[in-house]
Structure 1
Amino acid sequence: MTAIEHGVLYRLLGRLGRACATRPRSVLAAWLVLIAGLAAAVALNGRPTDNDVTLPGSDAQVARDLLERADPGTRDANAQLVLHAGSGRLDDPARADVLAGVAARIGGIAHVVQVLPPSAERGSLSADGRTGYLTLTFDVPPRSLDRPVADAVLAAAAPARDAGIDTVPGGALAAAADRTGSRTSELLGLAAAVIVLLFAFGGLVAAALPIVTALLTLAGALSVIGLAGHLTGIPAVAATLATMVGLGVGIDYALFLITRHRQQLADGVPVADAVAHSVASSGSAVLFAGGTVVIALGGLAVAEVPLLATLAWTTGIAVGFAVAGAVTLLPAMLAVLGGRIDALRVARRRGGAGRSGWGRLAGAVSRRPWRCALLTTALLGALAYPALDLSLGQIDAGSNPPGSAARQSFDLLAGGFGPGVNGPLTVVLPLDPPATGAADPRLAALTDAVRAVPGVAAAGPAALSGGATATVRVTPRTAPGDPRTAQLVTALRAVRVDGTAPHVGGATATRADLADRLSARMPAVIAVVVALSALLLLLAFRAPVVALKAAVMNLVSIGAAYGALTAVFSWGWGVTLLGLDGPVPVESYVPTMLFALLFGLSMDYEVFLLTAVQEVWQRTTDNTASVREGLAATGRVITSAACIMVVVFASFTLHTDPVIKMFGLGMAVAITVDATVVRGLLVPATMALLGPANWWRPTRRRTVVTGS
């Protein structure tokens, strides 16, 4: 018997399920009050986001810390209002007067502390005078800027547009302007999930329950994440990723529980008892599966990257809410519905077809395991092959949709100043002893050394910050996402002034350091996640071979996801179908985050399948029969669950953010491969080859001591 079934957890969850079934309206009221309270708090306080990336221990972070100590005001939100004239110059007297008036109007907006008009001396006016930008400084952090602030700035710039000058938000202001409430991806994913659920359950009421449960729990999770943004920096991608995963697992966990509950009702079990048994059995597996996802996400701590840690715990919150909803909220709704769960039927379920089909497939594979294993391995190898060319980079605003503010400002600035203006670097040199004034020869030496580095379009002159720090602002010749810009960062760090190496900071340098760290830490992350997940499986099934095999199977499906990422985004196969102009680099943190997520999610299906297989094995000790019957028993429900995951994840490829597209495609491909090729072919083949060794357990030798 498994540790999942009939253990302490089984009994505790059984009591919880019975309590929810006994007082269902109290449980529902508690959930509704909780969700309403969290939603109200978010409505009153907002949900700030912060795309700033920190990387403790990196050279870019050292440069940033030095600047902050020298000038504490450097973290104020600096944004731009990009200006472009179709003809003439922005510094013509008439236009200069208009822009001065615009600057004064913007200066009256709340939290704006300084507005600087375009100037050739400050480098904010292009050589031809047609492109420039107003520099805006706020007294709040970037995450506090929202769409109303961007709208207010654009409204204040109306006189410039009347004078024939295009105005586009840039920098942090562009991020705020592009922040919309569009939910197209989520709605499409939900619509597709409803169709799958209707096929699975055949009734509108049963199909609606997983959707309602997932939406309520997701609302709670996103509210908590939004409120947490007031305490710490949370990137915009965190909420979207939490939505993606929260919807998928929320619907899936409810699907597993409802399937078991309906089976109990069909066997004549009273409603309260059916709820209690469903929560004890399927709820135990749900709790174990959700715990596996959270543990896999926890393995990202090994990377020592705050961005990944934030994405991990925000996604973990969504999974935690989904599990809590499956074992409390859903049982209460099942108890209230009683026998009406099968109301409003729209189709007749064909229960036996799915079971026999999966059983026949497992039987056919078991009769020719070597042939099936070899062919399947070859297919999976072909799917994963492009991953050998996987290289990490960074996305810049040039990959955003053409109509977005970030893309428009990026293109305007690149056209007027060169591509490197969108990713400036800051060279920071500690001065020991401190400089006595601007005439210190080390300042001129730093400027000359930086300007001599190949790839620098413009630099300097060096400026003093606090006396002990010299800084040079560098404009690369290449765009932020260009690999040559990362090479320039390395070259600048090789400069020496009086034997001292400078530090290089800025968002572009930070992301270059992030890619390097993730490349170095990826093996450790893989080892920790695999070890923790395998240990959890070992505790559940007490079968070392099964635990190790499950870990290897998950690696296979993840390899296919990496292959798809490389082929589509790096090679450009079909990338235009996803709404992008052409190939883009794979964002450096995506593969690492994907690994943890997919390893945990794939383990969900492994748990449900192996639980059924082991139950038959313990009853019959027939390995072939256990695989056949276990796959037949779980085939329909796991396939339905996988289809829901796939359609939810695939819908996010329609999102405007290229990084979200990467997550959506990678996760959809991995779940598809895992639920078909791996679970339907490779798992039965390997279990048939291993035979009774699947369930081998190490035994302790007992020493018998006899008296004299």
Structure 2
Amino acid sequence: MRRNLAAALGGWSARHRMAAVLGWLLFVVLASVLGGAVGQTTMAEHEQGAGRSAHAEKIIDEAGIDDPDSETVLVTGPTGAPETARAVAAVRANVQATGKITDLRPDTVARDRRHVIVQFTLKKAPDGAPDPLPAVEDAVGKAQRDNPKVTIGEFGGATADAWFDNALGKDFKRAEMTAVPLAIGILLVAFGALLAAVLPVVLAFTAYLAAGGLLAVASHAVHVDDTTNSVMLLMGLAVGVDYCLFYLQREREERRRGRDRETALAIAAATSGRSVLVSGVTVMVAMSGMFLSGLLLFKGFAVATILVVCIAMLGSVTVLPALLSLLGDKVEVGRIRLPRRHRAGRGGERAGVVGTLLKPVLARPGIAAVLSAGLLLALAAPALGMKTAKLGIDQQIPPGERIARTYTELNRAFPGNPAPANVVVKARDIDAPQVKAAIGELKRRALASGEMNAPIEVTVHRKANVAEIEVPLAGSGSDATSEHALETLRGTIVPQTVGRVADAPVSGQLAWSTDYNAQLKHAIVPVFLFVMSVTFLLMLVFFRSVVIALTAIALNLLSVAAAYGVMVAVFQHGWGDSLVGTRGAGALESWIPLFVFVVLFGLSMDYHVFVVSRIREARDRGLDTARAVGEGVRATAGVVTSAAVIMIATFAIFGTLSMQDFKQLGVGLAVAVLIDATVVRIVLLPAAMALLGRANWYLPRWLGWLPRVSHGEAVPAPAAAPPPVPVP
């Protein structure tokens, strides 16, 4: 029997099973302890953006300026009503009585005289002292209770941070508590035995723990975002469970054919194990494309996903065969009786349904290919109008939340106030006459332009020779009016005033979003080309076919485009947004499209490599292409369905989180996997391969030097036909 790397790893693990299992546990423990000891380093504010806005944040960071949290209380009542004045007075008195604030500023009244804002700064709490925000929120709440005829809401940096910390903590705890039991439940249905269902989840979760420890170490070189661990959990469960599922399915299949335990394990290692290695390498290479983005966020995502995929892949081809060899038939502990149609391991009705669908597909492959491709293109159509942006508070937070309502009302009554542009002036001497004159000229020209609103506030940090000029932009903060105002500020007013005497980059939410999108547009072509080129080369080497490699690229692009279209339809245009418990934000979060492309291009290789490997295996046994396609798709139908269900369920959990960007990520990935595992793998792939026939395996002569990869193992049949092994 010809050996390969996966077979060698599986064979060694099966022979040295205790060493493999204990070695894995020791590795997980050491990695986790090491990560906890060194701690994880997160990104600084200026490392999260790009361009001139990031430069502005870097100036503030390097100057050691610690801006205290500024809070705004919005009081809304009838025009000129005395109740409004009493409520404002109550707010001022209550918050001042807490002793937790400074810099209580004069009231600002909106033009409609229905809205009044009270602004102040929270005192910075010493280390170990209570957070001042709860006391201030209680004071504002008391003012609301004492003045029920008006509406009082609070918004600010501290308020927003507190909401995000609370929501994210609860959301991710719920996601982690839900994802693992859900995966076990799906695998229990797939395998019909509790231990067989638990093994893949345990291995995937331990891979996540080990990767988390190594990520903490790596974060000292590549700083990561707070969300990176959650993304790593999502990826770790998705690929880790899938890899184990592929391996287990093939081992059980060979046992049902009458193979003994050792032979079944050897065949699973040489076939599914090899597919796992190829899939894992492809996913990791695809993820490495994020290093070309030029953004630290994506570099952190790349490090995290590469680590967890690599560890999950290695665990699947080492510790899993060791455990299967150690447990033997005990892997069936906790066996339950389920109707045959639900048993993914046998194929059951799932394979029967797939077989029923395959008959017309293979009989009329041209029609099937046109219809399925047309469906994907129709789903992809909305993506032509895709808009990306750094979503504002009102877009990220569910619309029913009080903080979101306050933010929206505050922005309506005082345009630009919640998220002003911030001109950061760095000079040799911030008090120099020419610098002061330039700042004054900037204020005058900004107000005279009609595109900026009052008040324009200037904060001078003399020790650092830095000044911050907050300029409220006209418009809603993210519309065309605000974008034009920012362009005027950056392109004309700043260069002709403070820009002549000092370094004066502009930051703020809109500036950050504009620069971030510009960097992504610059990086997206290199990332796309890199991922597609490397995927093509890996498929070419593994299958020794130019056509198979090109087909993989085309099918993946269709899947990604369809997912983009669904995301734009739901989250940008708001079509069916209530079905996922949100409201259309009018744009996709800036980092989502690129990340989704890289992840989907990698993950789709799970199914593609697994299915096409079985097709190639059947063809190598002498079947023609059409029959090989039918056999390969039917043989993998059950396990692909189970793997897809697990991925969809895992990603869908993220679609239930409070934050809009995680909803977009979860729904986008879940929809893409659903499309990939159904329309693409059951209809479009077999139709395309049936149409191409022998051309599927075309390899130019000048590429004949490529290594030959066997997709099946010539294992001798048993001398006498033994009775079937009673494995479900």
TM-score tier by shorter-chain length is 0.7 to 0.9
Residue of structure 1 in register with 2:496 after alignment: 497
Q: Deviations over 1:251-305 (max 9, x none)?
A: 2111111112223433454545544543443222212212211211111222212
Residue of structure 2 in register with 1:236 after alignment: 226
Counterpart Cα distance in 1 of 2:560 and 2:639: 22
SS at match of 1:421: coil
In the alignment, structure 1 residue 535 sits paired with structure 2 residue 532: no
Counterpart Cα distance in 2 of 1:277 and 1:152: 64
In the alignment, structure 1 residue 476 sits paired with structure 2 residue 488: no
Alpha carbons 1:20, 1:328 under 8 Å: kept? no
Of 558, 582, 589, 1:556 maps to: 558
In the alignment, structure 1 residue 670 sits paired with structure 2 residue 672: yes
Alpha carbons 1:31, 1:329 under 8 Å: kept? no
> C-alpha displacement at 1:51, in angstroms?
8.0
Query: Over aligned residue pairs, what C-alpha RMSD do you find?
Result: 3.7
Change (3 A) 1:581 1:624: closer
Change (3 A) 1:20 1:564: farther
> C-alpha displacement at 1:572, in angstroms?
0.7
> C-alpha displacement at 1:239, in angstroms?
2.4
Alpha carbons 1:418, 1:477 under 8 Å: kept? no
Residue of structure 2 in register with 1:346 after alignment: 337
Alignment of 1:260-279 (within 5 A): 260-271=250-261, 274-279=264-269
Change (3 A) 1:682 1:485: same
Counterpart Cα distance in 1 of 2:290 and 2:26: 34
| Residue identity matched to 1:437 | P
Residue of structure 2 in register with 1:681 after alignment: 683
Residue of structure 1 in register with 2:149 after alignment: none
Change (3 A) 1:432 1:206: closer
Residue of structure 2 in register with 1:383 after alignment: 379
Residue of structure 2 in register with 1:255 after alignment: 245
TM-score (norm 1): 0.84
SS at match of 1:472: strand
Residue of structure 2 in register with 1:646 after alignment: 648
Of 593, 600, 615, 1:598 maps to: 600
In the alignment, structure 1 residue 576 sits paired with structure 2 residue 610: no
SS at match of 1:476: coil
Alignment of 1:435-454 (within 5 A): 436-437=432-433, 440-454=436-450
| Residue identity matched to 1:576 | S
Between stretches 587-596 and 126-135, larger displacement belongs to 126-135
Counterpart Cα distance in 1 of 2:548 and 2:115: 68
> C-alpha displacement at 1:372, in angstroms?
1.4
Residue of structure 2 in register with 1:294 after alignment: 284
Residue of structure 2 in register with 1:366 after alignment: 362
Counterpart Cα distance in 1 of 2:402 and 2:703: 70
In the alignment, structure 1 residue 623 sits paired with structure 2 residue 625: yes
TM-score (norm 2): 0.82
Counterpart Cα distance in 1 of 2:338 and 2:130: 50
Residue of structure 2 in register with 1:506 after alignment: 508
Counterpart Cα distance in 1 of 2:629 and 2:304: 37
Counterpart Cα distance in 1 of 2:99 and 2:319: 54
Counterpart Cα distance in 1 of 2:409 and 2:370: 54
Alignment of 1:175-324 (within 5 A): 175-182=164-171, 183-225=173-215, 233-271=223-261, 274-324=264-314
Change (3 A) 1:163 1:636: closer
| Residue identity matched to 2:52 | D
| Residue identity matched to 1:633 | A
Counterpart Cα distance in 2 of 1:325 and 1:480: 48
Between stretches 535-544 and 51-60, larger displacement belongs to 51-60
Of 473, 488, 491, 2:485 maps to: 488
SS at match of 2:701: coil
Q: Deviations over 1:519-577 (max 9, x none)?
A: 33322221111111111111211211110110110000111101101110111111122
Alpha carbons 1:16, 1:276 under 8 Å: kept? no
Alpha carbons 2:573, 2:584 under 8 Å: kept? no
Alpha carbons 2:571, 2:588 under 8 Å: kept? yes
Alpha carbons 1:64, 1:506 under 8 Å: kept? no
Alpha carbons 2:390, 2:590 under 8 Å: kept? yes
SS at match of 2:119: strand
Between stretches 683-692 and 184-193, larger displacement belongs to 184-193
Q: Deviations over 1:385-438 (max 9, x none)?
A: 1111211122111130256585366357547x6252222211245669986237
Alpha carbons 1:653, 1:661 under 8 Å: kept? yes
> C-alpha displacement at 1:369, in angstroms?
1.8
Residue of structure 2 in register with 1:132 after alignment: 119
Residue of structure 2 in register with 1:58 after alignment: 51
Alpha carbons 1:265, 1:271 under 8 Å: kept? yes
SS at match of 1:347: coil
Residue of structure 2 in register with 1:327 after alignment: 317
Between stretches 321-330 and 240-249, larger displacement belongs to 321-330
| Residue identity matched to 2:674 | T
Change (3 A) 1:9 1:122: farther
| Residue identity matched to 1:134 | T
Counterpart Cα distance in 2 of 1:16 and 1:150: 57
Counterpart Cα distance in 2 of 1:78 and 1:230: 27
Q: Deviations over 1:187-233 (max 9, x none)?
A: 44445434432332122222222222223323333455467667764
Counterpart Cα distance in 2 of 1:449 and 1:409: 30
SS at match of 2:416: helix
> C-alpha displacement at 1:593, in angstroms?
0.6
Q: Deviations over 1:130-150 (max 9, x none)?
A: 53343455799xxxxxxx988
SS at match of 2:106: coil
Give aligned-pair identity as a percent: 29
Alpha carbons 2:391, 2:587 under 8 Å: kept? yes
Counterpart Cα distance in 1 of 2:406 and 2:167: 12
In the alignment, structure 1 residue 116 sits paired with structure 2 residue 102: yes
Counterpart Cα distance in 1 of 2:398 and 2:49: 32
Between stretches 90-99 and 360-369, larger displacement belongs to 90-99
Q: Deviations over 1:26-54 (max 9, x none)?
A: 2464256347636xx64x88867658463
Between stretches 86-95 and 180-189, larger displacement belongs to 86-95
| Residue identity matched to 1:154 | P
Counterpart Cα distance in 1 of 2:434 and 2:595: 46
Counterpart Cα distance in 2 of 1:499 and 1:574: 48
Residue of structure 2 in register with 1:154 after alignment: 134
Alpha carbons 2:50, 2:512 under 8 Å: kept? no
SS at match of 2:699: coil
Alpha carbons 1:77, 1:138 under 8 Å: kept? no
Aligned residues: 673
| Residue identity matched to 1:475 | P
> C-alpha displacement at 1:493, in angstroms?
1.3
Alpha carbons 2:47, 2:54 under 8 Å: kept? yes
Counterpart Cα distance in 2 of 1:669 and 1:235: 25
Q: Deviations over 1:359-398 (max 9, x none)?
A: 5544532332221111122111111111112111221111
In the alignment, structure 1 residue 421 sits paired with structure 2 residue 446: no
Residue of structure 1 in register with 2:79 after alignment: none
Unpaired runs of at least 5, structure 2 = 77-82, 146-152, 705-728
Q: Deviations over 1:573-630 (max 9, x none)?
A: 1112222244442111111110000010111111111111112222316222221221
| Residue identity matched to 1:302 | L
Counterpart Cα distance in 1 of 2:32 and 2:497: 62
